[in-house]
Amino acid sequence: MIRTQISLSEGEYVTAKREAERLGISLAELLRRSLRTMLPVDESKPWMRYAGMVESGDRESSKRIDDIVYGQKD
């Protein structure tokens, strides 16, 4: 990743920070997701617009991704 710096008004910062907390993600991740919605999609990979944006509501889901995507094994 490339590190960058942006300037936000106090109101933008507080609102964005509150939304990130509500979603259970970092402020940086909220800003990355927001930016992704504005950038043109690579037409060879249209699914990439949604990469990292699907939420299961389970904070441990990354540890059980196969179960979530393919279903639990019986």
- Residue 73: is its pLDDT beyond 90? no
Q: Is residue 2 part of a domain?
A: no
Indicate yes or no: pTM above 0.85. no
Confidence band of 70 (pLDDT split at 50, 70, 90): confident
Q: What would the pLDDT profile of 6-31 be if each residue is shown by its tens digit?
A: 999 999 999 999 999 999 999 999 99
Residue 39 CB-density burial (10 A; 0-12 exposed, 13-18 middle, 19+ buried): exposed
Q: Is residue 25 part of a domain?
A: yes
- Which of the given ranges, 13-17, 22-26, 32-36, 54-58, has the highest pLDDT on average? 13-17
Q: Is residue 16 part of a domain?
A: yes
Q: Is residue 4 part of a domain?
A: no
CA gap 52, 37 in Å, rounded = 12
Q: How far is CA 17 from CA 8, 14, 24, 33, 38, in A?
A: 11, 5, 10, 14, 20
- What pLDDT is recorded for position 47? 62
Which SS3 state, helix, strand or coil, does residue 8 take?
Answer: coil
